[in-house]
A and B are shown apart, each in its own frame.
Chain A
Amino acid sequence: MAVIWSILAQALHIALILAAAPVLTGVVRWLKARMTGRRGAHPLQPLRDLLKLLCKTPVLAENASMVSRAAPYVAAGAAIAAAALVPSFARGMALAPLADLILVAGLLALGRVAMALAGMDAGTPFGGLGASREMSFAALAEPALVVAALTLAILAGTTNLDAVAATLREGGLGLRVSLGFALVALVAVAIAGNARIPVDNPATHLELTMVHEAMTLEASGRHLALWEYAAMLRLTLWLALLSAVFLPFGQAPAGAAPHHWVVGLLAWVAKMGALALVLAAFESAIAKMRVFRVPEFLGAALLLGLLGAVLLFVSTGLT
């Protein structure tokens, strides 16, 4: 019985997160517009854009190779796979044993590499520029992520997201300062990974400051749609990740009967909404930083993560 529930939950989760991605992006954009005093487009606008893009025939550069055509699918697939692993409303889904934080990072890296290669395929300056910046930033974001994972692994004894969520939910860890540091580090990584302000501006079209946009500059039609969708999925995934780890309340426990799911579902929607609000507020409050200040930003995140881990050592050493 439990097996069936878990499979069901998994399927529900995938459908939910796939559907939620465009909406969440739309909501964030709408909230930002509101906060900056504009009316803003309808939250469903991203979905419409995707559908419109799907109907267009893509135009490829003459010397574009197979990579340009295959990369969008790889990126989207990696994003979907990663999103399928992050617990949303219930724990103990069918794929829960696979849901490893490092694996999620790896899948995201896969998408990132696919994007960078696609950017270099046409042999245009901007594509290469975006690719090199993207890979460089990632090089600094990765350590911060792993160090944050270190803190979680010490607390939960594993990097399996499901288990981590369970530990942070039940375990009487109380409020750990280390968790705060880890949270900050993870948020910074999430910002860099999703090309949000202050690292990158998702809405910019000023080439010299672009990172993500520069790589997809040559993409069009269904390819562009896939790129956009993968980006939306990443955002959703990160927010879901943060909520699952740091706001674990409301999640339906493993093997629980479907009626618990309703609670979990509502809690999840609330959490995501809250996070979207925070994100929008944050982004509309501050300005994008210069490209070569980004390392300092991520380096600070890394140091905070390390500090958290060290504090944890001290406390575990004392107790």
Chain B
Amino acid sequence: MPLQWAIVFLPWLGAAGLAALPRLRQAAAANVAVSAAGFAIALALAAQPFAQHGWTRADALNLPFLVLSAFVGLTTAVFSAATLDREGFDHWRIRAYHAAYQVFMGAQFLALLADNMGVMWVAIEIATLATVSMVALHRTPAAFEAAWKFFILCGVGIALALFGTIVLYLAAQPLLTAGNGLSWAALMRVAPDCAPGTLNLAFVFLLLGYGTKAGLVPLHSWLPDAHAEGPVPISAVLSGLLLNAAMLAVLRAKAVVGANPEAIAPGPFLLALGLASVLLAAVALWRRRDARRFFGWSSIEHMGIAAFAFGLGGAAANLAGLLHLLGHSLAKSAVFFGVGRAALAKGSQKISDIGGLVTTHPALGWGLAVAIAGLAGLPPMLLFASEFRLLAVAAAEVPWLALALALGMVVAMAALVTVLQAMCFGPATPGAAGTLEGWREAAAAAPLWLHLAVATGLALAMPAGLAAMLAEAARMIG
């Protein structure tokens, strides 16, 4: 069985096993073990040359994200192993949580690796179902609200995506040979000769469908609430992984349509949605009281920035966009680790209740401060490099839009800075009995710092192979 399939099926088998493990300790350990195995396979896969196996393909576009997903999945598993006992789950929910987690991981890998657009759609649907169940896990009315909203909106979204997929096939049908229907590679091959009108129709539905999952304005409404409910690790993987998968799906669609000269240019659509996301999120950030909602909105902003980059097109802007996705996954999940830990320590996730972390929990406080600063686009994180690249290119090509983008970034940055000051520096707020004993403290802190280190390393000393891969990917998606 090729590694590409192994990495998908291993988590699902693990899920089956985890569903049978009632004890927290073992389940958490097994969860970490499975995730670690997934990470190992991902690395091995990255070492192999690009290849296609049936419905899956490993290419420059998805391999970096595959490795990233496996990495974030592993760190998140570690973090949840350290903090999950605070959630006070009974054994049913422990089983459900871990099973759903691994189901989601498998679906995520499949969605990234899928070469067949239909398979990709199915994978994203499975991921949605898994995450919905995890968001609803707390069984509070608020959790149900958020889960239901998430479910309905994304359900409609993927329904639209399916329609888009069908239309896409219809467009390519006359040129495709029987076997390779819906294969992205095949579609790319025949795209230049497809009926442009049909491609346009397909693109609109794919964009709106997967764009809903990527949280682009005006399809974003589910995102902040979904990030605010459920266990913290869910927020981390939602922001860190699921959004990337959706954005990659949009990119594949964009690549197909962009390959056809007669079809409409897909760029302006992405530009418009991206700019709208950045601007709306930038102002909405100022009204947030709840830390996790706040960072959910910041995810919308960053997805908007990435969409803007891809809308701009061209090797430089695309590279900036890909880097931005990578950097955002690392920084945002790191921030969620920090916020989750802080919420444990302070017994609340309201921004007003989390204060003076630097004085009460120095390591956590400074780690969170650096992470938020990195999220605001300050060095030395990867987001700084990507935003620099994007703004530089945008300023050269579309000065006025670049100005609007920069305006949004400044406003959002000011909001982030304000929250950073409030949470890390302000007067220390009374803490709850949130101390983790022994290894848990370290295990809860390590992922945060690890992410920061990786993000910094990628920004300043990216491995040549990875850089080359990303450059090729940037060319691939046109």
Direct contact of A and B (CB under 8 A): no
Query: Chain B residues in contact with chain A, CB under 8 A?
Result: none
